[in-house]
Structure 1
């Protein structure tokens, strides 16, 4: 092959810029951050900010607050990066941080839903609204009274609307355990609410 032919086979234009950080594993990025290359944490932020924001939004139900929660989760993860266990998945670790931040933010709000003033208490619609609000409060009270490992799966499933797999990853437990805890938690809630209804009827 002549020199001219070899030159014609060479790629034209500038050499493409390689970005090894895009394909670099989470654990490798964490190691680089801990060694002092703090800019690598931005790659982790870019990689997971979308999914963490969606989790926060589903939990708190407010766009601006979800942004604040997501930022808070990344800040907390960065400050505690030295505590990260490299044997675990980084995603599961920061996912759990974001969930905890979201739940704390939602619980801190303590929303109040008053009955509208233009509805007289004697009308059927007003009574129905009051009954619904009372039942919601009873359910929230019952959930709060569950042991933490049961309460957490209920909140993640029915309030944050996570899948069984997402809950399992967030809590670092098998999906089978998630389903088992949910089954037990729902049964306990039914018993608690049933006992309260029985007492009300007797009264």
Structure 2
């Protein structure tokens, strides 16, 4: 007779902590590289008289295009990072904070994609404008919208993500308590300090990188104890 399906071997479970660490490291590297390339292609101050996409000047359009090409892959890695970090909670997951974690993470990623799409539209459109004043005005407006979407809205959602995740870590003990407090501190920076400097954005991928490395270390130690 055929063995009932309920008694079948469910199979080997995926090694989610390692996958989370690798995805997080990949996101941190790709997102940081994209941010640096895009930030160095943008002028520090808004100016309607500045054509900052003039490739003959310092290659701003080239850097911006390369940075934009990295954003989708960084987004894919971030989705995997979110999924497997959540998986670590297992049955201890708090549905309220988990919902906020997922929602804020998806909003962050969506707004990053919107900002990148605006930049891509500028790069594709500006070369067709023959009037120099029109080129500068379109580029300046697009740059302002990009910064608003990223620094004012997307990073605030990243801060909410960190607050919900840090709270779940404190309640469940899945990660060290000190990491939860560091996460709160990074969240405060993202919520209130990012408007002061474009480079503060790099604190978020740095946090993801640190969490990913810690998860990778924990997974290695767990495997080492299982062997002995």
What is the TM-score with the length of structure 1 in the denominator? 0.29
Q: Larger helix proportion, structure 1 or 2?
A: 2
Higher relative contact order (CA 8 A, sep 6+): 2
What is the TM-score with the length of structure 2 in the denominator? 0.26
